[in-house]
Amino acid sequence: MIDTDAVRGDFPILERRINGRRLAFLDSAASSQKPVQVLDAMADIYRNSYANVHRGAYTLSHEATEAYEEARHKVAVFLNATSDEEIVFTRSATAAMNLFAYGWGLNNLKSGDRILTSVMEHHANIVPWHIIARHTGAELRYMELTDGFRLDLEGAQDRFDERVKVVAVSGMSNVLGTMPPVGEIARLAHEVGAVLLVDGAQLVPHAPVDVQTLGADFLGFSGHKMLGPTGIGVLWGRRALLESMEPAEGGGEMIRDVRLYESDWAEVPHKFEAGTPPFVEAIGLGAAVDYLSAIGMDNVLQHDRELTGYALERLAGVPGLSIQGPADTVDRGGAISFDLTGIHAHDVATILDQEGVAVRAGHHCAKPLLRSLGLTASTRASFYVYNVPEDVDALVDALGVARRIFGLDGP
């Protein structure tokens, strides 16, 4: 189990008071807070070993390059990838998904082909496919949800046919918390010869992920949602597929040779890392991975589950509150979106902030999903390793304040 006192002690920001109240930070699905270990690792590089990587023939550059490649190794071990070369550093999950969509999609899709995704996707796993569909003539198709906010895989069986060349689904919805059965989706995708991209932006920070058993062919995620800094993400891909994929960006460092009218590419992963990479951020992500590994991802998942269970129980007692997401903690992550009858989500979030409770309100970059639920906005609380039941209590108390301010309590 997680020693939350010790963990909280590593996050200086949690000592802050917001509007005179103890901070209950419940917006880690948007971006997590950072432990001192991550801040220190980055400061150490800037202070002591800073120079551009893979370029200099001098000590500082060697040290920075070594630390950068060591970070790649840490991420590879974290995901149980078969080699460090399967780890491509990107700017974010969004950039990882775009790299795959452009690098793989542009060169493998044509008119008559289908891209299969789901209505619960984040815009980062929809909009790139709109662009690629427009360029290639491929058609975009969707899997729907069940009434219980699960992916309706049974209803989608007939959508898996040989026209489907790529399946792109989230491993955990940032709105519903739903964790679809990736292994089952992989089986269906592979049966028809499609490749599977998993959007791991919410999954990788919150659950153990072993890419050798996950079933996906590609996995994209961001560092900033898993205790790491902004500006760094990862695209993991099966090596043979990465090797067959075209780069989406050209520039320095991604080439073997450049002549006046043509160039050829460096080996993976470097052929996908054009220009000066965000190497200090990658080193920060390496420190975040160390931190999470020391806790143990099974413990992270269990901790999220316990808090989610407690929150679902307590929120059920708030009059007028309806939750969009599975009602239990089975295959469900710690993002809880809800609607409070009679109060707009932005008003809820503003009042909660007055009480020291930080949540996200809006469409959560999942407009097709919210539309399908008949909503334009919702409020979302999300948990991570530093949250405690007291944070859930603060949320429920603050919702009571919101209801009183809007005159929803009493006759």
Q: What share of the chain is helix, strand, coil (3-state, %, to 5)?
A: 45, 20, 40
What is the closest distance, in whole angstroms, from the C-beta atom of residue 299 to ligand C6P in the complex?
22
x-or-dash pattern for ligand C6P, window 349-388, by CB under 6 A?
Answer: -----------x---xx-----------------------
CB atoms within 10 A of CB 399: 28
Binders of ligand C6P among 85-114, rule CB under 6 A? 92-94
Rg (CA), the chain: 22
Whether residue 103 contacts residue 128, with contact meaning beta carbons closer than 8 Å, is answered with: no
Q: Per CB under 6 A, does 124 bind ligand C6P? A: yes
Q: How far is CA 240 from the centre of its chain?
A: 24
Contact with ligand C6P (CB under 6 A) among 76, 133, 198, 201: 201
199 forms part of the interface with ligand C6P (CB under 6 A): yes
Min separation Cβ 333 and ligand C6P, Å: 10
The answer to whether the CB of 314 falls within 8 A of the CB of 396 is yes
Pick 122 or 403: Cβ nearer ligand C6P: 122
The Cα angle at residue 38 between residues 395 and 234, in degrees rounded to 5: 90
- Does residue number 206 form part of the binding site for ligand C6P (CB under 6 A)? no
Return all residues near 239 (Cβ < 8 A) that are at least 6 apart: 82, 83, 85, 86, 268
The answer to the question of residue 32 lying near ligand C6P (CB under 6 A) is no
Minimal distance in Å, beta carbon 325 to ligand C6P? 13
* Residue (of 278, 294, 325) closest to 37 by Cα position: 294
Residue 319 Cβ, how far from ligand C6P at the closest point, in Å? Answer: 27
Going residue by residue from 236 to 275, which x/- string records binding to ligand C6P, judged by CB under 6 A? ----------------------------------------
**The one segment of 103-111, 197-205, 210-218, 235-243 that binds ligand C6P by CB under 6 A:** 197-205
| Residue from the set 98, 117, 202, 308 that interacts with ligand C6P by CB under 6 A | 202
* Number of neighbouring beta carbons within 10 Å of residue 55: 13
Q: Which of 127, 266, 318, 365 is catalytic?
A: 365
Separation between Cα atoms, residue 188 and residue 383, nearest integer Å: 32
Cα separation of the two ends of the chain: 45
H/E stretch holding 158:
none
CB-hemisphere CA count at 13 Å for 169?
A: 34
Residue 140 or 365: the one with the smaller Cβ distance to ligand C6P is: 365
What character string, x for contact with ligand C6P (CB under 6 A) and - otherwise, covers 152-191?
A: ------------------x---x-----------------
Query: Cis (ω within 30 of 0) for the bond into 269?
Result: yes
365 is an active site residue = yes
For ligand C6P, the binding residue among 222, 329, 337, 379 (CB under 6 A) is 222
Q: Binder to ligand C6P among 23, 29, 164, 307 (CB under 6 A)?
A: 29
Is the CB of 201 or the CB of 357 nearer to ligand C6P?
Answer: 201
| Residue number, 23 or 335, with CB nearest to ligand C6P | 335
Query: Which two three-digit tokens encode residue 150?
Result: 């699960």
Q: Shortest gap between Cβ of 337 and ligand C6P (angstroms)? A: 10
* Sequence-separated (6 or more) residues with CB below 8 Å from residue 331: 150, 178, 179, 180, 181
Biggest alpha carbon–alpha carbon distance for the chain = 79
Number of residues that bind ligand C6P (CB under 6 A): 17
Choose among 273, 120, 286, 145: nearest CA to 203: 120
Residue 197 touches ligand C6P, criterion: CB under 6 A = no
Cα–Cα dist 362/339, whole Å = 11
Residue 122 is a binding residue for ligand C6P (CB under 6 A): yes
Instruction: Please list the active-site residues.
Output: 365
The footprint of ligand C6P (CB under 6 A) covers 29-30, 92-94, 122, 124, 170, 174, 199, 201-202, 222, 224, 360, 364-365
